Structure 1
């Protein structure tokens, strides 16, 4: 941490000197104007949601170790992980998949753990799944974290009855057999189920369906999903991915009744190479793969815009949400690990990718009411990595922590002027990604990402209708593009304090190269 603070102080000091130098006068500062007089939609807190799948060590060891484990735990849940997630204020979790969901029978995960059937996880590594973590364990975790829940139903190998009975088991209030079974298994009161989706990636691992066929199945299954009116979850349809808008278009036109459709999901992953066979390394990459990663992740904005355009034709009142319920970086797995466990390291680059995506989601807060990064622990772009009793927080965790003030904040449009793009190796992306909002705390918040790994940026900030005297917050940066935390050095990278005062009525922020800065304005 001391090394990071020294690096930040050195960087900010050199920026200040450069700004005063005569040679810097020729380069105009970037300018940010916050339109506080034009408030937009609320940035739904669920944009900062997590995804928990039965995959690798994402649940077993990552969250659940069992009551008899030597790893300190509370009723089987790791104490260190619980504390970290509670501090993150996780608004919602999606479970049990993912591809796993479409082979999951909920009855396998209830009752005494020593009597639950052992299955084979055919999607992820071919390992045994003993179902120790099931409905009761997931719902208890959500209650410990104060999180809403998003249940992914089994369309691929399940039946309408199986899905309907699961919902009744969780929400039943009377003396039905299923409600009584839940009570027998230790839960008296029904759980609050916030969201329920019918299937996952129906275009791929969920059944290789067409949009037309899936829509017919969605109408079929949704007909039989019933719960008490005050506890009926919002129903979500499994939508498309990348450039494919046909799912959003067909679903919003043909779900009947349309009131049964709260949202259409969407999946997109950032690959440095955009080649699924050789995706690129999580560490020890060069600047060519740095910029190609941001070229890839910035496509998220284009894909959301295209899907919103087709949805606007069928749903001009914007009643149906567009949920990016799987996103994040996907690299080649770490050498020596099970390829089916999707374990990868997490560096400063991942933190910037996360922040750029947050800013994109904010720009589309009228439709994007939820996103779920893949995944919470030990899988892909994780918040937390564990190794038996050891645990560390990743740079992506710190990005989520920096952005906590944006949960349920009111979006404020921003104008960005004089920000030259970041260009390298024939590729170009915006050098600045910016978002602003009025937080529930009444403060005006501003988040900035400098994607250029070599050059710092000087930014003039103003807020329409008011003067700004000070900016206070935190910065996340480091000397190397792939700076990351390890179990031997778990605090190599984490946020440092940041502040700036206005001079002669003008607020200027100095952004280090490859950095995320989140500040409140006074």
Structure 2
């Protein structure tokens, strides 16, 4: 009986191993190539630049006397890199900084601008040499739309109304006269406006009911002075899973007064124990990716609440802060939030953007935090040197989805297992652009196992498939100032069309963009 029992256990174990091996091979994706109807807003690929650490000063802006090549003080190499990445909108000046920022301090002759203390980020003194004109002119150079975050924490209704008039009015009035006096004849016609930031925290520690009333008051006086009816007001939205906040805003703010409701979520292991950006193990990696994938749940649940009050989906969900957040690099100011960027961050970007794409009916803007030298930056600088991070390359690769038509997709994925926990290994989204070219973006978060995928392209007849891939051997791999091109996109050879199906093999920890014609 003991031998029989042992043999049974051996047979059962063998069966389980066989089934596990089979499961590891069973990834399937179905793309409905003729069923697309929702446009993926290009603004999902937007960015965020706060007066924080070296994002503005020492990042974007080096001053017009710098030996680093610049135009009006803004680095030429950063402008060129962001134009290549196709950055559709840029949020400024914060963040928490926004509700301490008084825009009049940053206009007029630079020598006459008052210095201020950045009370939120390091307590440093800055001279306001980078202000409204500098930012909006930089956005014109970038070919991007500005997204201005208004001060309702320490600022007045009149102050915000004057700012809107200053940058948007084309009629004769005190604010347009002041703008012309300061050197700008025509208005910039800024469309995107944040009505405060994180009102539940650094923006005033408000209750949702109180903020909803404050929003109504401020929004009332944010007239669109160009009379084109295009102003887009974004309400300060929920912190992660504060669903009551979203419910209160959707219930308490008339739909004709709000065009977007924000959401903030960072990929963090623990707030008080964030871990290193480069010195981490697989346990920390797993937890960080799990936090990133939680965006699916957050977007789904906040969208469901918005659907109750706005079934026509006229109000956008604007995820205007997202990304990985770790401890600062050794020897740097803890208030500057400067962190390195590894292939882990590329995976965070890949899976998060897939989530946003697949929820494009409601998610119509998102802003990665932040553009230069802060948090999950796409660019890092060290004096005259500049590097593009793995996150930059993912954003540039995924830009093919901007304003394309979302294709419905169903993913059946293997598990990436660590300990007793598991996550879906494969993430994907798909779109077809105006020229009829289909793009599929794929990510494999598993650091050990490649993933074989069979894609069924329902309704599609394709002749060619090409692609680009971003991957590396180790989770901690990164681009440095000594090795700036250690991680960069390469041609992808792991896809083939066979019998109307697409066979793909994804390397461990990889992000791939496929193009089908």
Asked if the contact 1:385/1:393 (under 8 Å) is kept, the reply is yes
Alignment of 1:136-151 (within 5 A): 136-151=133-148
What is the match of residue 171 of structure 2?
174
- Picking from 455, 473, 491, the partner of 2:449 is 455
Asked if the contact 2:329/2:340 (under 8 Å) is kept, the reply is yes
Between the aligned partners of 1:506 and 1:100, the Cα distance in structure 2 is 51
What is the match of residue 40 of structure 1?
37
Shift of 1:40: 3.4
Between the aligned partners of 1:512 and 1:325, the Cα distance in structure 2 is 31
What is the match of residue 318 of structure 1?
313
Shift of 1:363: 1.5
Between the aligned partners of 2:501 and 2:400, the Cα distance in structure 1 is 24
Shift of 1:502: 2.3
Q: Relative to 1, partners in 2 of residues 1:409 and 1:505: Cα closer, same or farther, differing over 3 Å?
A: closer
Q: Relative to 1, partners in 2 of residues 1:26 and 1:263: Cα closer, same or farther, differing over 3 Å?
A: closer
- Picking from 207, 211, 223, the partner of 1:210 is 207
Shift of 1:505: 4.8
TM-score by length of 2: 0.94
Is 1:162–2:178 an aligned residue pair? no
Asked if the contact 1:240/1:247 (under 8 Å) is kept, the reply is yes
What is the match of residue 491 of structure 1?
485
Between the aligned partners of 2:237 and 2:287, the Cα distance in structure 1 is 26
Shift of 1:455: 0.5
Between the aligned partners of 1:270 and 1:436, the Cα distance in structure 2 is 24
- Picking from 385, 394, 413, the partner of 1:390 is 385
Asked if the contact 2:47/2:369 (under 8 Å) is kept, the reply is yes
SS of the equivalent of 1:215 reads helix
Asked if the contact 1:421/1:430 (under 8 Å) is kept, the reply is yes
Q: Relative to 1, partners in 2 of residues 1:298 and 1:24: Cα closer, same or farther, differing over 3 Å?
A: closer
- List per-residue Cα deviations over 1:304-337 (Å, max 9, x = no partner): 1111111111111111111000000000111100
Shift of 1:469: 3.9
What is the match of residue 54 of structure 2?
57
What is the match of residue 67 of structure 1?
64
Between the aligned partners of 1:176 and 1:436, the Cα distance in structure 2 is 48
What is the match of residue 273 of structure 2?
278
SS of the equivalent of 1:308 reads helix
Is 1:433–2:427 an aligned residue pair? yes
Q: Relative to 1, partners in 2 of residues 1:174 and 1:503: Cα closer, same or farther, differing over 3 Å?
A: closer
Between the aligned partners of 2:319 and 2:100, the Cα distance in structure 1 is 22
- Picking from 380, 397, 402, the partner of 1:402 is 397
Asked if the contact 2:91/2:147 (under 8 Å) is kept, the reply is yes
SS of the equivalent of 2:239 reads coil
Asked if the contact 1:468/1:506 (under 8 Å) is kept, the reply is no
SS of the equivalent of 1:502 reads strand
Shift of 1:464: 0.7
Between the aligned partners of 2:498 and 2:196, the Cα distance in structure 1 is 56
With 176-185 and 223-232 compared, the bigger mean Cα shift is at 223-232
Asked if the contact 2:393/2:489 (under 8 Å) is kept, the reply is yes
What is the match of residue 519 of structure 1?
514
Between the aligned partners of 1:416 and 1:368, the Cα distance in structure 2 is 20
Between the aligned partners of 2:290 and 2:28, the Cα distance in structure 1 is 23
With 233-242 and 51-60 compared, the bigger mean Cα shift is at 233-242
Asked if the contact 1:30/1:459 (under 8 Å) is kept, the reply is yes
Asked if the contact 1:462/1:468 (under 8 Å) is kept, the reply is no
Q: Relative to 1, partners in 2 of residues 1:319 and 1:383: Cα closer, same or farther, differing over 3 Å?
A: same
SS of the equivalent of 1:189 reads coil
- Picking from 394, 406, 415, the partner of 1:421 is 415
Asked if the contact 2:456/2:500 (under 8 Å) is kept, the reply is no
- Picking from 239, 263, 270, the partner of 1:241 is 239
Q: Relative to 1, partners in 2 of residues 1:465 and 1:337: Cα closer, same or farther, differing over 3 Å?
A: same
Between the aligned partners of 2:348 and 2:22, the Cα distance in structure 1 is 31
Is 1:76–2:73 an aligned residue pair? yes
Shift of 1:415: 1.8
With 387-396 and 497-506 compared, the bigger mean Cα shift is at 497-506
With 220-229 and 350-359 compared, the bigger mean Cα shift is at 220-229
Between the aligned partners of 1:504 and 1:157, the Cα distance in structure 2 is 63
SS of the equivalent of 1:155 reads coil
SS of the equivalent of 2:417 reads strand
What is the match of residue 9 of structure 1?
none
What is the match of residue 18 of structure 1?
none
Is 1:230–2:228 an aligned residue pair? yes
Asked if the contact 1:193/1:232 (under 8 Å) is kept, the reply is no
With 330-339 and 229-238 compared, the bigger mean Cα shift is at 229-238
What is the match of residue 19 of structure 1?
none
TM-score by length of 1: 0.93
What is the match of residue 248 of structure 2?
250
With 39-48 and 220-229 compared, the bigger mean Cα shift is at 220-229
- Picking from 251, 255, 267, the partner of 2:264 is 267
Shift of 1:26: 8.4
In the alignment of these two chains, the number of paired residues is 496
SS of the equivalent of 1:161 reads helix
Between the aligned partners of 1:46 and 1:389, the Cα distance in structure 2 is 30
With 370-379 and 67-76 compared, the bigger mean Cα shift is at 67-76
What is the match of residue 83 of structure 2?
86
Is 1:133–2:127 an aligned residue pair? no
Shift of 1:459: 1.1
Between the aligned partners of 1:416 and 1:361, the Cα distance in structure 2 is 15
Shift of 1:268: 0.4
Q: Relative to 1, partners in 2 of residues 1:413 and 1:505: Cα closer, same or farther, differing over 3 Å?
A: closer
Between the aligned partners of 1:282 and 1:116, the Cα distance in structure 2 is 37
SS of the equivalent of 1:238 reads strand
Q: CA RMSD in A?
A: 1.4
Between the aligned partners of 1:388 and 1:486, the Cα distance in structure 2 is 14
Is 1:444–2:438 an aligned residue pair? yes
